[in-house]
Structure 1
Amino acid sequence: MTSFTEKVVQIISSIPRGKVMTYGQIAGLSEHPRAARQVVRILHSMSRKYDLPWYRVLNSKGQIGFKDEEGFKEQKRFLELEGIEVGINGRIDLDIYQWHPDRV
């Protein structure tokens, strides 16, 4: 596993319950700000293996990124179970729910 991949896994694992982060935010904290798509790939391929809270990661607009209805509904359900309000088009208010570990 590369150091970038390790850092991404570590960051995603540390997202607290009831908070979210964006792919780009995770890429930036991993010192590769232009690697948001790689974060998507890591999340997709390693979520099960490392028991990652994949549903806490959103696109740059603060929206659920799934296009298929089943994936969308599953992510929405997990977020709502953690008390996160999911609005129209799967949008989450990042001003309220986005986690900033660099500000802690």
Structure 2
Amino acid sequence: MSYGQVALILDMPRAAREVGWALSRVEDRDMVPWWRVVNNKGRVSIKGQYSAEEQRQLLLQEGIKVSKDFTFEIEKYRFNP
């Protein structure tokens, strides 16, 4: 799921950056699956307390093929509710 998709679900279509900001401040890592949110181009674009490599590894554990340059086929894995 992309930051923009989360913003749309929240009925705030122009708030993708705010979604990223909020996720970067999650304190209880087990309560919010922050690693499942990526940019709209299919790239891990993370800043803050979690590393891009950590996000990549968590996505790999879930069966999402993320390359070493932190990209993947977003249309193949995109969440479409």
Into which bin does the TM-score normalised by the smaller protein fall? 0.7 to 0.9
Distance 1:100 1:26 in 2: 11
- Match of residue 5 from structure 2: 25
Quote how far apart the aligned CAs of 1:92 are: 1.7
Q: Which one-letter code corresponds to 2:53 in the other structure?
A: K
Question: Which of 34, 44, 65 is the equivalent residue of 2:45?
Answer: 65
Q: Does 1:74 align with 2:50?
A: no
Question: Cα RMSD between the aligned structures?
Answer: 2.2
Asked if 2 retains the 8 angstrom alpha-carbon contact of 1:64 and 1:91, the reply is yes
Superposition misfits of 4+ residues, deviation over 2 angstroms: none
Cα drift, residue 95 of structure 1 = 1.5
The alignment of Structure 1 onto Structure 2 pairs a total of residues equal to: 80
Q: Normalising by structure 1, report the TM-score.
A: 0.67
Query: Is contact 2:3–2:20 with CA below 8 Å preserved after alignment?
Result: yes
Identity of aligned residues (%): 36
2:17 pairs, out of 37, 43, 61, with 37
Structure holding more helix per residue: 1
- Residue ranges of structure 2 left out of the alignment (5+ in a row): none
Q: Structure 1: where are the runs of 5+ without partners?
A: 1-20
Structure 1 residue aligned with 2:79: 99
TM-score with structure 2 setting the length:
0.84
Query: Displacement, 1:82?
Result: 0.5
- The AA in structure 1 aligned to 2:42 is G
